[in-house]
Amino acid sequence: MALAQAAFGQEAAARSSLMAADGLIGVPDLGLARALIGDSDGAIELLEPVARAPDAVPRTRQNLALAYALAGQWDKARAIAGQDLSADQLSARMLAWASLAKPQPARSRVSAFIGVTPAVIDPGMPVQLALSTQPF
């Protein structure tokens, strides 16, 4: 829900949805969502203790690394991501994250992360049809 709200530019609603979801969804997902909607510091605060736990899984560490990248802390992002990736995978991941980290609205970040291109607002045919003098 929060990512959809962020994708529609409703960042305040997205933050409220994530606060309401605290405890209902896993920390890795909650942290990732917080990072994607622009709350990198909150994501880091949430993910760091879980990612440093002895039973931490790669997904949690990668989400933390992405949060660091989105916060502009590239050295930490590289160090954490490198725990689970080979050198060539790490370079590719950092390059992908660099495109996510450029200044942009949350809607652009969310759509880039999930790999979709937002539709261009198109008034379309309804206006043309309504003003048409031709019978249908």
The whole-angstrom separation of Cα 103 and Cα 100 is 8
The two tokens of residue 113 are 């992360």
Mean per-residue pLDDT of the chain: 82
Tell me if the pTM is above 0.85.
no
Is pLDDT above 70 for 112?
no
Q: For 76-103, what is the mean pLDDT?
A: 89
Query: Residue 116: which of 2, 40, 3 has the closest Cα?
Result: 3
Q: For 102-127, what is the mean pLDDT?
A: 62
Assign 95 to helix, strand or coil.
Answer: helix
Return the H-helix or E-strand segment holding 100.
Answer: helix 87-101
